[in-house]
Structure 1
Amino acid sequence: MPGRLALKLEELEVPVARVLRQAGLPLDLFQQARVLVDTEELFALWRAIGQISKDPAIGLKLGTENRTERFHPSGIAALSTESFGAAIDHMARYKQLTCPEEMLHESDEEEWRIRFRWTLAVEEEPTTLTEYCFAWIQTIARHGSGTRITPLRLELVQPRTHIRLLERHFGCQVATGASQNAIVFRAADRNCPFVTRNAELLDMLAPQFDEELRQRTEDSFTELVLGAIQHRLTGHRPAVEDVARDLHMSSRTLQRKLQEAGSSYQRVLDEARHQMARYYLGNSVLELNEAAYLLGFEDSNSFVRAFRTWEGIPPGQWRETHRNTKVN
């Protein structure tokens, strides 16, 4: 998550601490060097923004930006492309560098549809987040082209009480009850040239994004293995053969691909246990010996030793500290 989101919330007089408390997130979240959340936490944050703000236009305001210096590097690179269509192609290609989300777009002779799909979501995305994403698309289009490009229509799955506000902002018809959230432009808008085009800047940024994308692809496999291990962490230590079978590959192939990604099965197993240990201690009333059993440790003493290695303190002390942080 971009740390500048907290700055914009404060500028719009939305109390960041109240938002984080409402979302059940750490109060120092935006003070961290890298602000990392999972999809469930991200959705909780955006729901909290809508609830605390009380402003139905808050998503639109957060997604609208006129100061280029506040753009994410990928946004600056998108503005450096030759056209609106090229900008969307760029954003779609590198979207996975920031979150597990796909940016999908398709066109025919008359219309060009752009939509987002959260690949790890198990619930409907918050309405505020949907409006933020579409407002950001419009920001890129208008800033890059130097014109007031307007969509043909906005298609939304969930109902809204502020339809007129959305229609004024986007300058088009807004329809709810759709099968997918989408912003629809004219097919010709794909070719709209960008006055912000900067080929030299793009040539400088693109290789960096490509290298990050290559690294992320390797990291994605590690995350895939981690998820498979966590799925099997139900009272025993998952064997590499079992995890490999779940992923439809041989154990040798699994270990080779982890090695290529700079990791190993034991390292990913430790990380899987570490993550689950934090979850059990922070979000449940499990006793330490019960958590140890679920994580596949032989006894609670083995669990305590492992947890000290991960966090530097015993699990009981970590739990109390975490509870106190949530209360405060």
Structure 2
Amino acid sequence: MKSHATDRIKIPPGFWEGLRQLGIAPHDVARKARLPLTVITEPAVTTAQYFAIWQAYSDLIGDTAEGVIQLVTAFETAKYPPTVLATYHARDYRDALNRMARYKQLCPPESLLIAEEGENCTIELEWLDSDQSGPPLLVGITLACVLELGRRGTGQPLTARLVEFTQSMGDVQALEAYFGCPVRIGAVRNRLTMKRADLDRPFVSYNEELLDILTPALDRSLDEQRQRSRSIADTVKWIVKRSLTGGCPDIQAVAKELGMSDRTLQRRLTDENTSFKHLLTQARHEQAREYLADPSLDIKEVAFLIGYEDQNSFYRAFRLWEGATPSNWRTEHLGIR
């Protein structure tokens, strides 16, 4: 089971066309990635497949920096997917960056954090799953696309102030020539620092009429995605309730069912201001009330059904929850569900 509708990633057709322009056959990429050739025409791929495709391109091109620069400059604006078109036709660079960060939610597996402070604006790349980082070339492409967007939108040869990468990126001098600034390798984070004043630059590609068409459609898709995606806390509680009769489930078992590591699950729950322990307690409490309202179940059986090995442990827990013993609570609430 997956907790998000966005676990499958769309690859725009322009990606494969860009590879062809660089003299790289898409089927060679698929073979290098050890994926079926049908992946070229698939509407969406898994995160693992997505990373494998980018790593295969990196291996075929030879140098990470060269692969970043060649593809980001070869990708034609006309091939941009709607989520990127909405940024390219924004009012100014700031509007474009904010739209990019917003609509990245429709395009996992990365997110962009934008911060303006003093004379600088930083754009930091974060992976939605901190335990599954993408290949260095994908990191470079993502940050290069941020700058390329500004250059194409404003029609000006914008440069960055600093680019930071956590991993080796190949020919650093080539990257410094492209970004127009120092490039730092072995940094704590993957981040692009821009001149804040550049964010005020208007886009020559601004198209209000097109934005009036794209924006409502993209916002609607984002809202629908959020509605489809049950919160991770609700999903965890549902799994726990379903698993209680087999004993007390642990976070590792639940994380495995969700297709993520226990560290990632802990982080996601923290983001929703809760914890696995709290959700386990809630699940047991809610199930206890439901089972006790059924007079056909004796209390020992209720204790077993919510994952307690002995009746005394259940009694102690229930008194903390309700201020009464299970027997007294049942007497008072019998027949009320």
Q: Same fold (TM over 0.5)?
A: yes
Q: Which residue is 2:54 aligned to? A: 46
Q: Which residue is 1:30 aligned to? A: 40
Q: In 2 relative to 1, CA 112–248 (structure 1 residues): closer, same or farther, beyond 3 Å? A: same
Q: Which residue is 2:266 aligned to? A: none
- 3-state DSSP of counterpart to 1:182: strand
Q: Which residue is 2:143 aligned to? A: 134
The answer to whether 1:248 aligns with 2:245 is no
Which of 79, 83, 91 is the aligned partner of 1:82?
Answer: 91
Instruction: State how 1:94-113 maps to structure 2 within 5 Å.
Output: 94-113=103-122
Whole-angstrom distance in 2 between the partners of 1:4 and 1:224: 37
Q: In 2 relative to 1, CA 230–120 (structure 1 residues): closer, same or farther, beyond 3 Å? A: farther
| Mapped contact 2:137–2:169 kept (Cα < 8 A) | no
| Mapped contact 1:111–1:187 kept (Cα < 8 A) | yes
Which segments of 5 or more consecutive residues in structure 1 lack a partner in the other structure? 255-328
Deviation at 1:83, TM superposition (A): 0.9
For 1:204, give the aligned amino acid.
Answer: I
Which segments of 5 or more consecutive residues in structure 2 lack a partner in the other structure? 1-10, 255-274, 287-337
The answer to whether 1:10 aligns with 2:1 is no
Higher relative contact order (CA 8 A, sep 6+): 2
Deviation at 1:150, TM superposition (A): 0.6
| Mapped contact 2:108–2:128 kept (Cα < 8 A) | no
Whole-angstrom distance in 2 between the partners of 1:75 and 1:86: 12
Q: In 2 relative to 1, CA 204–18 (structure 1 residues): closer, same or farther, beyond 3 Å? A: same
Q: Which residue is 2:272 aligned to? A: none
Instruction: State how 1:137-152 maps to structure 2 within 5 Å.
Output: 137-152=146-161
- 3-state DSSP of counterpart to 2:157: coil
Give the TM-score of the pair, scaled to structure 2. 0.65
Which of 114, 120, 123 is the aligned partner of 2:129?
Answer: 120
Deviation at 1:97, TM superposition (A): 0.9
Whole-angstrom distance in 2 between the partners of 1:66 and 1:203: 25
Instruction: State how 1:173-184 maps to structure 2 within 5 Å.
Output: 173-184=182-193
- 3-state DSSP of counterpart to 1:196: coil
- 3-state DSSP of counterpart to 1:248: helix
Q: In 2 relative to 1, CA 133–230 (structure 1 residues): closer, same or farther, beyond 3 Å? A: farther
Q: In 2 relative to 1, CA 66–6 (structure 1 residues): closer, same or farther, beyond 3 Å? A: closer
Q: Which residue is 2:73 aligned to? A: 64
Q: In 2 relative to 1, CA 128–232 (structure 1 residues): closer, same or farther, beyond 3 Å? A: farther
| Mapped contact 1:77–1:202 kept (Cα < 8 A) | yes
| Mapped contact 1:85–1:191 kept (Cα < 8 A) | yes
Deviation at 1:2, TM superposition (A): 1.5
Deviation at 1:26, TM superposition (A): 2.1
Deviation at 1:52, TM superposition (A): 1.8
Q: In 2 relative to 1, CA 28–80 (structure 1 residues): closer, same or farther, beyond 3 Å? A: same
Whole-angstrom distance in 2 between the partners of 1:231 and 1:51: 43
Whole-angstrom distance in 2 between the partners of 1:233 and 1:132: 43
| Mapped contact 1:63–1:134 kept (Cα < 8 A) | no
| Mapped contact 2:236–2:279 kept (Cα < 8 A) | no
- 3-state DSSP of counterpart to 1:183: strand
Give the TM-score of the pair, scaled to structure 1. 0.67
| Mapped contact 2:237–2:279 kept (Cα < 8 A) | no
Q: How many residues align?
A: 249
1:182-202 per-position Cα deviation (integer Å, ceiling 9, x unaligned): 111011111111111112211
For 2:216, give the aligned amino acid.
Answer: P
Q: In 2 relative to 1, CA 215–152 (structure 1 residues): closer, same or farther, beyond 3 Å? A: same
What is the RMSD of the two structures over their aligned residues, measured on CA atoms?
3.3
For 2:163, give the aligned amino acid.
Answer: L
For 1:13, give the aligned amino acid.
Answer: G
Deviation at 1:87, TM superposition (A): 0.3
Q: Which residue is 2:322 aligned to? A: none
Whole-angstrom distance in 2 between the partners of 1:231 and 1:117: 29
- 3-state DSSP of counterpart to 2:124: strand
When Rg is computed on C-alpha atoms for both structures, the one with the higher figure is: 2
